[in-house]
């Protein structure tokens, strides 16, 4: 049996950085990863997909260049092999960077293999047994495949496998109208494929307010994407030239099907029962406000704990654990203000409460909206789709939440994220003097238009 000061299972966006901090403190750490260093973000999520989004935007800009007085003769052609290779290069550069970083770190033992608990302090991997007083789980999540009629009879794609496509689908049917599905839908439409989105629920991006969801749908429809919401009785069958996707109200002749109906944690084969670690009904590991499980000496970080499904929340889990265990701090998950983005174009930047949540909170709220068509930078760039929205507490003057669906919305939202984290009231933020011409310069104006509801 090999002994360590700590064992980290999973090399996503929390575990490796925590392992590095512990090594800096002179600890002996084992980092176990069954597949690739970097987790979903580096290998099948943010980095490759946003690289693909960038290629798709380049194609979109080229096709619409005449409106800017730039004439490109001939048809805009897409070389999917180059598109795929570019995304793979970005992934490999990041993955190899991690490999090199760990290789030069005394005290770090990186093990490639599948770890399972033998007891609360012991795990087995590759026929060896390892023990440590502290064990951290950062095992991530994977796509959910729903049990739909005919699904096992077709060759479907997931968010992991689709990034390796090196040819353009004739017609891509996206099953699921949430964030992952929407990004791939617009991306492949811009590459030149016909695209249909099939969503069981009544609207796209169901987490968002109805006005945001409607605006997202308008953006996608304006680019020729076919949207079917409220779809039931979804079924699949092979056809002579592809796949038939049938619902209660539509029949789609697709060449490829992307299943984008959510993700589930990679916790079902870790032997958690041997350690006594509790999970909820969905398989997420139950943790307290400091990310500790019900078993002393075991923590769960990142997607597998159900407390955030983003790279940045996973990294913040590392920050919380490191601050509490190594720096004598007392950080809590509940102190985190949730923010995220949807990377369609234009992007959606979101922070805090939705309008629906704010109304349900019992607070006396104020709301302000502004269409992007009334933002100078958006008009100058010729990208006026979407709108800005902010919600505030009428009594405390604190900002409760915001949504910016529009050009650079994923960057502009950070002004509000920072203000909320600093506890800045909206009247104070109104007195900032932003740079002109930017999208962010409209934040004080947006706040000045807040009205009680």
DSSP bridge pairs for 340: 350
Q: Round the average pLDDT of the chain to a whole number and report it.
A: 97
- Ordered DSSP codes for 164-215: G--S--SEEEEE--SHHHHHHHHHHHHHT-EEEEE-SSSSSSTTS-HHHHHH
Give me 252's structure tokens: 């789609």
Q: What's residue 309's pLDDT?
A: 86
Angle, helices 311-326 vs 15-24, to 10°: value is 30
Residue 259, pLDDT above cutoff 90: yes
Instruction: Look up the CATH number of domain 151-261.
Output: 3.50.50.60
DSSP state letter for 260:
-
Q: pLDDT, tens digit, for every residue of 295-352?
A: 999 999 999 999 988 999 999 999 999 999 999 999 999 999 999 999 999 999 999 9
Cα–Cα distances (Å) from 279 to 58, 159, 191, 272, 317, in that order, read 44, 25, 41, 9, 18
Cα–Cα distances (Å) from 138 to 210, 254, 317, 388, in that order, read 34, 37, 10, 35
SS3 94: helix
SS3 273: helix
Instruction: Look up the CATH number of domain 2-142+264-335.
Output: 3.50.50.60
- Check: CB of residue 155 under 8 Å from CB of residue 238: no
Q: pLDDT, tens digit, for every residue of 371-409?
A: 999 999 999 999 999 999 999 999 999 999 999 999 999
SS3 276: coil
Answering whether pTM is above 0.75, one says yes
Q: What's residue 364's pLDDT?
A: 97
Instruction: Say how far apart CA 132 and CA 28 lie, in whole Å.
Output: 10
Residue 21, pLDDT above cutoff 90: yes
Q: For tokens 């949504």, what's the residue? A: 403
Cα–Cα distances (Å) from 402 to 135, 179, 206, 333, 417, in that order, read 37, 18, 16, 21, 9
SS3 145: coil
CB atoms within 10 A of CB 37: 22
Instruction: Say how far apart CA 94 and CA 32 lie, in whole Å.
Output: 18
Instruction: Say how far apart CA 282 and CA 134 lie, in whole Å.
Output: 25
Instruction: Say how far apart CA 70 and CA 220 lie, in whole Å.
Output: 24
Kindly list the domain boundaries of the chain, sorted by start residue: 2-142+264-335, 151-261, 339-452
- Would strands 134-137 and 6-9 be described as parallel, antiparallel, or unpaired? parallel
Instruction: Say how far apart CA 242 and CA 440 lie, in whole Å.
Output: 46
Q: Which of 81, 354, 84, 154 is nearest to 175 (CA)?
A: 154
- Check: CB of residue 428 under 8 Å from CB of residue 350: no
Instruction: Look up the CATH number of domain 339-452.
Output: 3.30.390.30
Q: pLDDT, tens digit, for every residue of 204-226?
A: 999 999 999 999 999 999 999 99
Which positions ≥6 away from 115 have C-beta within 8 Å?
Answer: 7, 9, 32, 34, 123, 124, 125, 130, 270
Give the confidence band of 189 by pLDDT, cuts at 50, 70, 90: very high
CA 446 from centroid of its chain's CA atoms: 27
Q: What's residue 148's pLDDT?
A: 97
- Helix (H) / strand (E) element for 239: namely strand 235-239
Give me 253's structure tokens: 């002749």
Based on the residue annotation, tell me whether 114 is a catalytic residue of this protein.
no
- Check: CB of residue 352 under 8 Å from CB of residue 207: no
CA quadruple 142, 146, 147, 149: dihedral sign: negative
For residues 43, 47, 48, 53, the Cα torsion angle rounded to the nearest 10 degrees is 160
Q: pLDDT, tens digit, for every residue of 239-253?
A: 999 999 999 999 999
Q: Do domains 151-261 and 339-452 have the same CATH topology?
A: no
């Amino acid at each position: 049996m090999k002994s360590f000061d700590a064992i980290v299972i999973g090399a996503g966006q929390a575990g490796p950085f925590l392992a590095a901090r512990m090594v800096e403190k002179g600890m002996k750490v084992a980092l176990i990863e069954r597949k690739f260093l970097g987790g979903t973000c580096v290998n099948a999520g943010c980095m490759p997909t946003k690289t693909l989004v960038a290629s798709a935007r380049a194609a979109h800009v080229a096709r619409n260049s005449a409106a800017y007085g730039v004439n490109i003769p001939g048809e805009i052609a897409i070389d999917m092999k180059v598109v795929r290779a570019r995304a793979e290069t970005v992934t490999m550069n990041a993955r190899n960077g991690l490999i090199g970083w760990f290789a030069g770190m005394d005290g770090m033992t990186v093990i490639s293999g599948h770890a399972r608990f033998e007891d609360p302090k012991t795990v087995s991997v590759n026929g060896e047994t390892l023990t440590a007083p502290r064990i951290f789980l950062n095992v991530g999540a994977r796509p959910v495949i729903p049990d739909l009629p005919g699904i096992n009879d077709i060759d479907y794609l997931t968010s992991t496998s689709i990034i390796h496509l090196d040819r353009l689908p004739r017609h891509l049917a996206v099953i699921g109208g949430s964030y992952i599905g929407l990004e791939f839908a617009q991306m492949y439409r811009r590459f030149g494929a016909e695209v249909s989105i099939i969503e069981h629920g009544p609207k796209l991006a169901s987490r968002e307010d109805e006005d945001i969801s409607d605006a997202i749908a308008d953006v996608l429809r304006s680019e020729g994407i076919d949207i079917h919401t409220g779809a039931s009785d979804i079924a699949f069958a092979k056809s002579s030239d592809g796949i038939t996707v049938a619902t209660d109200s539509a029949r789609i002749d697709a060449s490829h099907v992307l299943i984008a109906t959510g993700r589930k944690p990679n916790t079902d084969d870790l032997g958690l029962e041997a350690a006594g670690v509790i999970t909820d009904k969905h398989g997420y590991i139950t943790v307290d406000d400091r990310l500790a499980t019900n078993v002393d000496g075991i923590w769960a970080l990142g997607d597998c704990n159900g407390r955030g499904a983003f790279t940045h929340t996973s990294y913040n889990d590392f920050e919380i654990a490191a601050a509490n265990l190594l720096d004598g701090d007392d950080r809590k998950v509940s102190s985190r203000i949730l923010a995220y983005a949807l990377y369609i174009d234009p992007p959606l930047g979101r922070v805090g409460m939705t309008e629906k949540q704010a109304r349900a909170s019992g607070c006396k709220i104020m709301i302000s909206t502004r269409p992007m068509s009334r933002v100078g930078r958006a008009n100058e760039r010729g990208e006026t789709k979407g709108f800005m929205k902010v919600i505030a507490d009428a009594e405390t003057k604190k900002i409760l939440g915001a949504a910016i669906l529009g050009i650079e919305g994923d960057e502009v939202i950070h002004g509000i994220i920072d203000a909320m984290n600093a506890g800045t009231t909206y009247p104070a933020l109104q007195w900032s003097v932003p740079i002109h011409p930017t999208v962010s310069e409209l934040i004080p104006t947006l706040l000045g238009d807040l009205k009680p509801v």
